[in-house]
Amino acid sequence: METTVLRRRAFATGAAAVAVGALALAGLTGVASADPAQGATPTADRLSPGLLDALRRDLGLDATQAKARIADEHRAATVAAALERSLGADFAGARLSGGTAVLTVSTTDRSDVGRITAAGARAEVVAHSLGRLEAAQAALDAVARAKAPKDVPSWYVDISGNRLVVNVAVPRAADRLLAAAGVPRGLVRIERSDERPRALADLRGGDAYYMNGSGRCSIGFPVKRGTQNGFVTAGHCGTAGVTTSGVNQQAQGTFQGSTFPGRDYAWVATNGNWTPRPLVNGYGNGDVTVTGSTQAVAGSSVCRSGSTTGWHCGTIQQHNSSVTYPEGTITGVTRTSVCAEPGDSGGSFISGSQAQGVTSGGSGNCSQGGTTYYQPVNPALSAYGLTLVTSGAPTDPPTNPPTEPGGTWAAGTSYAAGATVTYGGVTYRCLQGHTAQAGWQPPNVPALWQRI
């Protein structure tokens, strides 16, 4: 099975597991400063019929189950982020499992178990911290950036197994890579794989666009940079200077920046005829509104929109994976069970109403199933100084943010609707889930924060 970029042309062995407090997230307690009166994620009752239909088809969930799961997954992301900060170097990852979306948080220190269960999650004690495994992965990445390894299609940190998994076509290929990177064999699980990843290539997320009048890819998410409108997409779809036309074959824009291989993101600046909307194409089943970009926990449901195969859903398998395409190695992508085909590249990955990333590459197809990787959207936004276009959120942070007056609010933190923070001696309640950015201090963004 060949795994490539698709561009259409015209948590452990030996670890002691402690399963304590196996609670579904519907019963979470002691979660940061969440407001219990808020209940389920506010957006759950307003989810796209198309997204719900795709979750029914691909995950076997009816509408009620899908809404409950998305609400649970949203809360899990908030709990996991808070525990990661609290546990520090002991943190060994978080994942969801089961139909009721049980959150498991791993740690290397048994004394952390009480703290984890008090937050409503299941605790697991393992041998290796996430930081140690990610450092080993980074060592492999460094070797691969110099020269893409032959017969090693992908590698990633498996949180449930508490190992760095290296997928290989030829077993000795893993030995060569590990030796070159200086990674201890005890941190690694080698698995045989026939994958041959490839990039998926052929202003609303999931819509088609065309590069220089030839190849076709899909829009990831509409963005803004200052007053300039545009969208993020996959880097392998085009290099800086490549022009694009839209789904209507009319002149659309130009690639301003592109990174591939290494990472797989790009952004296109569009002309005045294109207005960015906080939407993802539902392909006849209703568009999905984007309200933020909070990263979902591994095990969460995720859906993809692309111009070849429309809507398909699955689950997040591993974050921060590395994958080798014929063009080179890509790092920092997320591995999923969602299918995709040529032309879907660059298209939107979304969990509930939270933007997750843009389609990069994978293997298989939507007839027989496959594995697809997406480039997380937040690193792309950061790399190019872009702001995601969302419903009710500010289009851009202020150009001259004020001096921080102190408080619990912090840029880079993921906040769920109902969470409370202090800033400048005043308390604010979060109105919609988002990841805070510099300049989005609560007094500046009334669409996100309400003074209480």
For the record, the structure tokens of 64 come out as: 């009620």
pLDDT higher than threshold 70 for residue 126: yes
Q: Which pLDDT score, from 0 to 100, does residue 441 have?
A: 76
Nearest residue to 332 (alpha-carbon basis) of 386, 261, 387:
261
Cα dihedral 90, 112, 86, 156, rounded to 10, equals 40
Q: pLDDT of 60-117, one tens digit each?
A: 888 888 888 888 898 999 999 999 999 999 999 999 987 778 999 999 999 999 999 9
- Is the pLDDT at 361 greater than 70? The verdict is yes
pLDDT number for residue 394: 47
Residue 407 has pLDDT above 90, yes or no: no
- Active-site residue, selected from the candidate residues 90, 264, 287, 344: 264
Distance of CA 236 to the CA centre of its chain: 18
| Whether the Cβ atoms of residue 253 and residue 230 lie closer than 8 Å to each other | yes
Q: Assess whether 264 carries a catalytic annotation.
A: yes
End-to-end CA distance of the chain: 56
Query: For residue 119, what pLDDT band results from cuts at 50, 70 and 90?
Result: very high
Are the beta carbons of 312 and 303 closer than 8 angstroms? Answer: yes
Catalytic: which of 48, 106, 218, 236? 236
Least confident range from 27-36, 56-65, 74-83, 270-279: namely 27-36
Phi, psi of 192 (to 5 degrees): -75, 135
Using the structure block, give the residue that is written with the tokens 């202090």.
422
Residue 13, pLDDT score:
30
Q: Which helix (H) or strand (E) holds 68?
A: helix 63-87
- At residue 30, does pLDDT exceed 60? no
Query: Can you tell me the mean pLDDT for 374-378?
Result: 97
Q: What is the pLDDT of residue 410?
A: 84
Q: Is 258 left (phi over 0), alpha (psi -120 to 50) or beta?
A: beta
What is the predicted pLDDT for the residue at 359? 97
Q: Is the pLDDT of residue 8 over 50?
A: yes
More confident residue, 99 or 14: 99
Is 247 exposed, middle or buried (CB count within 10 Å of its CB: 0-12, 13-18, 19+)?
A: middle
pTM of the model: 0.69
Burial class of residue 396 in the structure, from the number of CB atoms within 10 Å of its CB (0-12 exposed, 13-18 middle, 19+ buried) = middle
Handedness of CA 301, 436, 413, 28 (dihedral sign): negative
> What is the Cα–Cα distance from 75 to 41, expressed in whole angstroms?
8
Per-residue pLDDT, 138: 94
* pLDDT of amino acid 302: 93
Q: What pLDDT score was predicted for residue 301?
A: 93
Q: What is the pLDDT at residue 31?
A: 32
For residues 196 and 99, give the distance between their C-alpha atoms in angstroms, rounded to a whole number. Answer: 31
Q: What are phi and psi of 69, to 5 degrees?
A: -65, -45
Would you call 307 a catalytic residue per the annotation? no
Q: Over 70: is that where the pLDDT of 388 sits?
A: yes
In this predicted structure, the answer to whether residue 54 has a pLDDT above a threshold of 90 is: no
Is-catalytic flag, 207?
no
pLDDT digits (tens, 9 = 90+) for 320-333: 999 999 999 999 99
Rg of the chain taking only CA atoms, in angstroms: 21
Q: Please report the pLDDT score of residue 118 as a whole number.
A: 95
Q: Is the pLDDT of residue 267 over 80?
A: yes
Please check the confidence at residue 28 and state whether its pLDDT lies above 50. Answer: no
Question: Poorest-confidence range of 211-215, 281-285, 417-421?
Answer: 281-285
Long-range contact pairs involving 81-87 (C-beta distance under 8 Å, separation at least 24): 81/413, 81/414, 82/31, 82/32, 82/119, 83/115, 83/116, 83/119, 83/121, 86/115, 87/112, 87/115, 87/116
Tens of pLDDT, residues 217-264: 999 999 999 999 999 999 999 999 999 999 888 889 999 999 999 999
Mean confidence (pLDDT) of the chain: 84
pLDDT for res 445: 65
pLDDT of residue 40 exceeding 90, the answer is no
The alpha carbon dihedral of 344, 347, 352, 357 has a sign of positive
Beta strands in 177-309 (DSSP E): 188-192, 198-199, 208-211, 215-218, 221-225, 228-233, 243-245, 251-259, 265-270, 279-280, 288-289, 301-306
Task: Indicate the pLDDT class of residue 363, thresholds 50, 70 and 90.
Answer: very high
pLDDT in the model for residue 27: 31
Q: Which two tokens stand for residue 58?
A: 């691909």
Whether residue 405 has a cis bond before it, omega within 30° of 0? no
- Determine the Cα–Cα distance for residues 175 and 170; give it in Å rounded to an integer: 10
Q: What is the pLDDT of residues 145-178, one digit of tens each?
A: 888 888 899 999 999 999 999 999 888 889 999 9
Measured from the Cβ of residue 361, the count of other Cβ atoms closer than 10 Å reads 30
- pLDDT of 417 strictly over 90: no
- Catalytic residue, chosen from 160, 301, 345, 353, is 345
Q: Is residue 20 very low, low, confident or very high in pLDDT (cuts 50, 70, 90)?
A: very low
Residue 397, pLDDT above cutoff 80: no
Residue 293 has pLDDT above 60, yes or no: yes
